[in-house]
Amino acid sequence: MNIIDKVMELFVHYGHRIYFGEAVTQREHALQAATLAEENKGSASLITAALLHDIGHIINISESPAAESLYADTADDLHEEIGYRWLSVHYGPEVSDPVRLHVPAKRYLCAIDEDYIKLLSKTSVRSLHGQGGPMTSGEIKAFESEIFATDAIAVRRWDDEAKDPNRKTPDLLHFRIYLDAAFNESAC
């Protein structure tokens, strides 16, 4: 099975799970983030990264039902690293790095923008601590030196916004074209 069929299958089987502590499901959250990326004229790779930024949560749930309750207790499930490792087998860093960096991007924004934390959901504020809290000045420098830091910040902001239970989006099939295009770009 290729990566894109596997992504579709994961969302079919696990996308209806609630996005931990939020008012949307994993699928709704992913689709809202991808829709925001598309509305903001993101590249196919960036839209793919937005859609799949939390694929690590879904992989965790698919491999161990206990992962769901673990995360619900605000433990850090390292989903950004798991998603990154899974995606980087098939996609280039333009997709996998924003996924890896979307949690550091939250810690970065908390450190450099005092208003940012007010935008976060309660669950996101709670998980911040387990993720290391706001970045130190050394971590800020290291984050800013990442090639895909700007893309990671964009994904992070769409992630934070993608929790609206009333927002309508295109379905998963609409985004398949971007998954294909990003895959083909990575293969070049």
Which residues bind to Fe ion, rule: CB under 5 A?
A: 54, 159
Vertex 53, ends 50 and 55: CA angle to 5°?
130
Whose Cβ is closer to Fe ion: residue 158's or residue 178's? Answer: 158
To Fe ion, the closest distance from the beta carbon of 56 in angstroms equals 10
Rg (CA), the chain: 15
To Fe ion, the closest distance from the beta carbon of 187 in angstroms equals 27
Spatial separation of the C-alpha atoms in residues 183 and 89, rounded to whole Å: 11
Whose Cβ is closer to Fe ion: residue 54's or residue 94's? Answer: 54
Spatial separation of the C-alpha atoms in residues 108 and 14, rounded to whole Å: 30
To Fe ion, the closest distance from the beta carbon of 163 in angstroms equals 8
Whose Cβ is closer to Fe ion: residue 3's or residue 120's? Answer: 120
Whose Cβ is closer to Fe ion: residue 118's or residue 188's? Answer: 118
Whose Cβ is closer to Fe ion: residue 28's or residue 159's? Answer: 159
Report DSSP letters for 61-127, one per residue.
HHH-THHHHHHHTT----HHHHHHHHHHTTS-HHHHHHHHHHHHHHHHHHHH-TTHHHHS-HHHHHH
Spatial separation of the C-alpha atoms in residues 77 and 72, rounded to whole Å: 10
To Fe ion, the closest distance from the beta carbon of 90 in angstroms equals 20
To Fe ion, the closest distance from the beta carbon of 137 in angstroms equals 26
